[in-house]
Amino acid sequence: GVTNQVTDALRDGHFVVVASENEPCSVSLMEALALGLPALAARSGGNVDIVQDGTTGLLYETGSIDGLRDQIAAILNGDFTPAPPGEIRESVRGWAASEMAAKYNHVYRQMAKRNGDAS
């Protein structure tokens, strides 16, 4: 159901499934990984950059119901051993808004230096 207590709901889980097939950067995916939960996501959009396939989660081919089913079965049967929660959390640290802002700021400063603006 609908909840505003996303963190509590996620903490009660063992893994998260993000079945969206066209999402450039899934906030729900990053929230789950930031809590140390492994993820199962479609191989599309930003998911391929966020999920380390076989380590922090699993990816399945976009649009493949069989692929989704098979990956869920692999998880439930114990055929997938995810990284420890701490490693999963660490994997998305660089995606935090503050980290991304610092990276963009660095790029902009480098570009400004190349253009003769030392500010």
Assess if residue 66 is contained within a domain. Answer: yes
Assess if residue 99 is contained within a domain. Answer: no
Residue 39 identity (one-letter amino acid): A
pLDDT tens-digit profile of 38-53?
999 999 989 999 999 9
pLDDT tens-digit profile of 50-89?
999 999 999 999 999 999 999 999 999 999 999 999 999 9
Domain count, the chain: 1
Residue 60 and residue 67 in contact, taking contact as beta carbons nearer than 8 Å: yes
Number of alpha helices (DSSP H) and beta strands (DSSP E) in the chain? 6, 3
Note the pLDDT of residue 119. 56
Assess if residue 52 is contained within a domain. Answer: yes
CATH number for 13: 3.40.50.2000
Q: Residue 28: which domain range?
A: 6-92
Assess if residue 80 is contained within a domain. Answer: yes
Assess if residue 115 is contained within a domain. Answer: no
> Could you identify the residue written with the tokens 């191989």?
43
Residue 95 and residue 30 in contact, taking contact as beta carbons nearer than 8 Å: yes
Assess if residue 117 is contained within a domain. Answer: no
CA dist 41 and 60 (Å) reads: 6
